[in-house]
Homo-oligomer: A and B are copies of this chain.
Amino acid sequence: MTDIEQLLSEIRTFNQERDWDQFHNGKDLAIGLSIEASELLEAFLWKSPDDANIDIIREELADVLNYAFQMADKYQLDIKEIMLDKIRKNAEKYPVERAKGSAKKYNAL
């Protein structure tokens, strides 16, 4: 079992024990994920990047990942596959020779 499979398995067990799958429709999972991403962002509000509290980052990032893994599981998306596919697509959108050292969006390159 890979690391990702183990994490998915732990999350599934957690939800099954609590009978929570009934609530976990895709729309509310996406809302939950967006809320957790916002709580992570709050660690940086009114601060320079280096002043954010690492313990809060750790907690909130774990929540984001937890929801993202549930979302993948809900739609039977293979996490490794969709991430590698996206990296390949981004490599085409942002070719090294044009994107190097630039923070511009691909359609402004």
Known: A19-B100, A100-B18. A84 touches B10 (CB 8 A): yes
11 extra A-B contacts, CB within 8 A, seeds A61-B75, A65-B72: A11-B87, A17-B96, A31-B44, A35-B38, A38-B38, A38-B39, A46-B103, A47-B103, A54-B75, A61-B77, A66-B87
Q: Which residues of chain B have C-beta atoms less than 8 A from A34's C-beta?
A: 34, 37-38, 40-41
Give the interface size bracket for A toward B: 35 or more
Known: A34-B40, A38-B34. A46 touches B23 (CB 8 A): yes
Interface residues of A in 67-109 (CB under 8 A from B): 68-69, 71-72, 75, 77, 79-80, 82-87, 90-91, 94, 96, 99-101, 103
